[in-house]
Structures are given as structure tokens and as C-alpha cells.
Homo-oligomer: A and B are copies of this chain.
Amino acid sequence: MPHVTLHDIARRCNVSIATVSAVVNEAEWVSQKTRSRVQRAVAEMGYHPNQYARGLKQRQGHAVGVIVSDLTNPFFTQIVRSLSHALNAAGRSLSLCDSDHQHLLGESNLRMLVEGQIVGLVIIGDSVPEKALEAFVRVRARVPVISIEREYTIPQVSSLLVDSERAAYAATRHLHDRGCERIAMITGPSAGAGSATFGRVQRHEGYRRALADLGRASDPRLVVEGNFRFESGRTAMRRLLALDQRPDAVFAANDMMALGALSALREAGLSAPDDIALVGFDNVPMAGLIAPGLTTMAMPMAELGDEAARLLETQLSHKGGHEAVRHVFSAELVVRESSLRPVGVLA
């Protein structure tokens, strides 16, 4: 029995569709008797409201669009996961797009979501270029947009950020406290996908400020650019190892690059922390599973997802409201083996 509609069950119960609709939407005014009669019919005939008709009528959808720049990066995965749970619990569905590090793809994702009549949009990482998002908020002014780990200059867009500057400062200090003298950094990309990420600049800044506070000139040769992916961390570390005076510590702007660096280290017959101390950023699950355990700055991933969902509902309930929010979380240092330098061994 395909396509059971309001009419079908109205006829079955000898009531009007208005009554049925009221029962389904839990309106107060239906008598207890008719209510239960209708409810039984609904269950028996397997009726489900047609979301398309509903969405058409209410000029509002039920799906939240989520664009993520790389789903295989565990950092993003964790966020998507907590988003999925929170959203589903709120009765919404999650329209997922993986932009695969490509702005072009992110743009087309956005176009698709526009047509899909999403009720809210969450952008994770550097997936959508500023211009494209600007066009979106022009067309869909009422749709709340929340950006995680990237900040837009568009006033309607809320952002959920992490204070990476302070965290990077802490990471660098930690390496110094462990007795490291030549602390290198593998940064995020200065151009292309990922470059607009909030943490990218911030992490570099925190590193610089820490070195400055410690009275160290920051040696430009010790700063190598990566692109947040494993392979680039490996390449960067190879370059650092080729220096005539190689570093005794490396701070990578994210865990994936730190893991790449670790692999280059092993490839060269060296090890962390004995030869080079290593600190990452994100605290992806893998960081605690490898040997040596990766010291890293723990990003509050679940919180980011939960807060995004919460914020969405808030903005959705304030019918008229465009009050964009800027919320800054903080990251905590998690010390594992990769930075546990035997103290007193150094020059």
C-alpha cells in the first residue's frame, strides 16, 4: 500500500484531514477519543507525513547542510559524528558533502544544498570560498550559517573557533621546557585549500610569540610549509633533516602532518623524542594509539559539533534573528611520549 496520505486515513476514520493533521502535529484541540482513533489508523496504515509537501507549505526544510573539507581527516570526522547525533536527536537530517580539499567542489556542494532547501548550514574547515558563501547568504538570508575553524568577514555567519594562538604558544613552550633549543615548525598552507583556516595563521603566530618571549630569533629555515596532510608532513620533515644544523624539536600545525613527520623520522633511522621531540595539534584518536604516543593539543571536537547543533536550533527559534555568534574554544596540551625528552642531554 504505497503513499498513504492524510486523506486516506481521514476517510478511514470518518474525520477531516484537518483533524488528522492536528493529531499528527500534536495540536491540543482534538478530543481524546478521535485522537486515539486517528493514532491507531496512522500506525496501522503506516502513514508518514510527506516532508516535501510539508516543506513546501512551511517554506522551510528539515535538512541541515554540512560541508566538510576532508572526511578522512579524523579531526573532521569526529565533528561530523557529534553533529550527526545532535541533529538526528533534534529530528533533523544531515546533508553531507565532502569537498575534498577543493574550493570548486565546495562551491558546487553549496549550490546543491541551496536547491535542497536546507534549513541551516555548517561548514567545517576551509571548504567554501568567501565569495560563494556571500552569494549564498544573499539568496538564503534566513538560513543560519555556522563555520567551524574558519572565519568569514560575512556578518551573518557565526563561527566556532579554537584559540590556536594560545595553544601553539603552549606547545612551543612545552618543547622549550623539555630542553629543546632549535624548535622547528611545520605550518599549514599559505595558499590554496586550507589556507583560510582559522588555526593556520594562529598556530604560526603562537609559535612565533613563544619564541620571541623566550628571546629566540626565529630562524626562517626552521619554518616549513605543509598542507595539513600526512604526505606534506613527511616532506617537510625530510627538508628539516637535510639542514646543516637540524632542529631538536618540531611542532606540526596538525596531527596528520606530525604523523607524516614521524614517518620521515623513522625513515631516516631517527626516533622521537630521542633525536627530535615532536608535538602535533588536534589530538586525533590515532595520536594516542601509535608509538611513540604523539604529544598534541587536544581540540574539543565533540564540543564543536554539539555547539554547532545547539547554536543552529537557537538561531532557528529566533525567527527574525540574525545575531551571528563568535565562540572561541580552547585546546589543551596532552603530553605523550613524543615530546618526553630525557632532560639534561642537550647542549
Contacts and interface: CB of A to CB of B under 8 A. Distances in A.
Interface of A: 2-3, 46, 48-53, 55-56, 59, 61-63, 66, 71-72, 74, 77-78, 80-81, 84-85, 88, 91, 93-98, 100, 105, 108-109, 111-117, 135, 138-142, 230, 259, 263, 266, 285-286, 289-291
Contacts of A140: 2
A88 B108 contact: yes
Given A71-B81, A88-B97, A259-B289, 7 more contacts: A2-B142, A3-B59, A48-B115, A71-B77, A74-B74, A94-B96, A96-B96
A77 B48 CA distance: 30
Contact of A71 (B62, B80, B259): B80
22 contacts: A2-B139, A2-B140, A3-B59, A46-B138, A50-B56, A51-B115, A51-B116, A52-B61, A53-B56, A62-B116, A63-B95, A71-B77, A72-B81, A85-B100, A88-B97, A88-B105, A94-B96, A95-B96, A230-B285, A263-B289, A289-B290, A290-B290
Contacts of A108: 88
Contacts of A81: 71-72, 98, 100
A114 B113 CA distance: 20
A2 B289 contact: no
Contacts of A91: 112
A112 B93 contact: yes
A321 B138 CA distance: 43
B114 A85 contact: no
Nearest to A45: B139
A233 B61 CA distance: 43
B84 A96 contact: yes
Contacts of A88: 97, 105, 108-109, 112
Given A72-B77, A108-B88, A263-B289, A139 B97 contact: no
A113 B93 contact: yes
B52 A56 contact: yes
B115 A98 contact: no
A310 B2 CA distance: 26
Contacts of A2: 139-142
A109 B48 CA distance: 14
A72 B78 contact: yes
Nearest to A139: B46
A285 B52 contact: no
A95 B95 contact: yes
A68 to B, nearest CB: 9
A106 to B, nearest CB: 11
A78 B55 CA distance: 32
B116 A93 contact: yes
